[in-house]
């Protein structure tokens, strides 16, 4: 956790340094271009378009139990909505086309291949045949994260998964599904019994808090892993492009642009990979809870990793 905080602080310091260099050394349009690169990483109350910025509505914060909650619409919220609408539209069109054909072709074949891959290579190996009941949730998670990741790579786009609030929301849903799958498969009594770790009752005051803490470490890891990986790629690209403004030379631009292009192509792969990792780990954690039914009382607890 300390390393993650240090990395975020270092990224923030680097962004401040590059901003100063961009505004201090660049002139006119160059400074504006560089500022827009950093603007791509932040969550703001406006969305950039080729025709200018669209300012999003802001609402007064709600005060609940001493906490101030801002429900204003931000750029990342807009792209979460866009990803959901795009995914719903594409999935509906593909499903209707595939239903009219015995053998899917084109994009429908690609879509079905991904569905079959998640079912046969992720869900069934980790959760067994009973895991097919949770296939709609896991497929939605996979495609939703993938679309959000890819939207950050298009012009004027933003990667909502580079916002820890978005990944935290996904992790909370995963946490609920992990516990619901375990309780549904084991029964509430057996589920609670595993929180004792199968040890003598005298050790319960030590074991139960550890087991409960273990319940939250899994979704926390999912949250930070997705957030850090998606943010890191954009920070590296911005840092490389920022070298042009630091050295004030078009000659040196060839190297940063070449490296940035390589990182950009790598980000295409990372967008798919991170969606796969999040879905795989979620199904694995759900499967651990579901596969404890009928095991011995003194077996290693499934929630304590």
Per-residue pLDDT of the chain (305 residues; tens, 9 = 90+): 444 444 444 444 444 444 444 444 444 444 455 555 566 677 888 888 888 888 888 888 888 888 888 888 889 999 999 999 999 999 999 988 888 887 888 888 889 999 999 999 999 999 989 899 999 999 999 999 999 999 988 888 888 998 999 999 999 999 999 999 999 988 888 888 888 877 778 888 888 888 888 889 999 999 999 999 988 888 888 878 777 777 777 777 788 888 888 888 888 899 999 999 999 999 999 998 886 443 433 344 444 44
Q: Are 144 and 90 in contact (CB under 8 A)?
A: no
Task: Provide the pLDDT for residue 150.
Answer: 92
State the virtual CA torsion across 244, 246, 252, 255 in degrees, nearest 10.
-60
- Say what the pTM is: 0.79
Residue for token digits 């901003």?
19
Task: Provide the pLDDT for residue 81.
Answer: 95
Q: Give the SS3 label for residue 48.
A: strand
Q: Are 215 and 303 in contact (CB under 8 A)?
A: yes
Q: Give the SS3 label for residue 174.
A: helix
> In terms of Cα–Cα distance, which of 33, 143, 22, 126 is closest to 90?
143
């Amino acid at each position: 956790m300390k390393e993650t905080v240090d990395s975020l602080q270092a990224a923030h310091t680097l962004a401040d340094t590059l901003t100063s260099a961009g505004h201090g050394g660049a002139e006119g349009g160059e400074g504006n271009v560089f500022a827009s690169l950093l603007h791509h990483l932040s969550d703001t109350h406006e969305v950039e378009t080729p025709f200018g910025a669209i300012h999003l509505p802001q609402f007064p914060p709600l005060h609940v139990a001493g906490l101030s909650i801002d429900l204003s619409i931000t750029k990342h919220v807009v792209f979460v909505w866009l990803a959901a609408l795009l995914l719903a539209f594409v999935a509906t069109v593909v499903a209707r086309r595939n239903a009219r054909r015995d053998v899917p072709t084109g994009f429908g074949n690609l879509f079905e291949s991904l569905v079959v891959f998640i079912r046969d290579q992720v869900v069934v190996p980790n959760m067994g045949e009973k895991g097919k009941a949770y296939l709609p949730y896991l497929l939605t998670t996979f495609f939703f994260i993938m679309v959000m990741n890819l939207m950050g790579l298009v012009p004027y786009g933003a990667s909502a998964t580079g916002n820890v609030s978005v990944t935290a929301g996904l992790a909370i849903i995963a946490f609920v599904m992990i516990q619901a799958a375990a309780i549904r498969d084991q029964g509430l009594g057996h589920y609670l019994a595993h929180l004792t770790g199968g040890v003598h009752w005298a050790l319960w005051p030590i074991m139960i808090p550890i087991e409960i803490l273990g319940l939250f470490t899994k979704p926390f890891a999912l949250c930070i892993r997705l957030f850090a990986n998606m943010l890191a790629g954009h920070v590296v690209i911005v840092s490389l492009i920022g070298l042009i403004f630091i050295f004030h030379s078009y000659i040196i631009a060839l190297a940063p642009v070449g490296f940035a292009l390589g990182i950009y192509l790598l980000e295409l792969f990372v967008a798919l990979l991170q969606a796969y990792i999040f879905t795989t780990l979620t199904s694995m954690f759900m499967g651990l809870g579901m596969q404890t039914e009928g095991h011995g009382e003194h077996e290693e607890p499934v929630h304590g990793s």
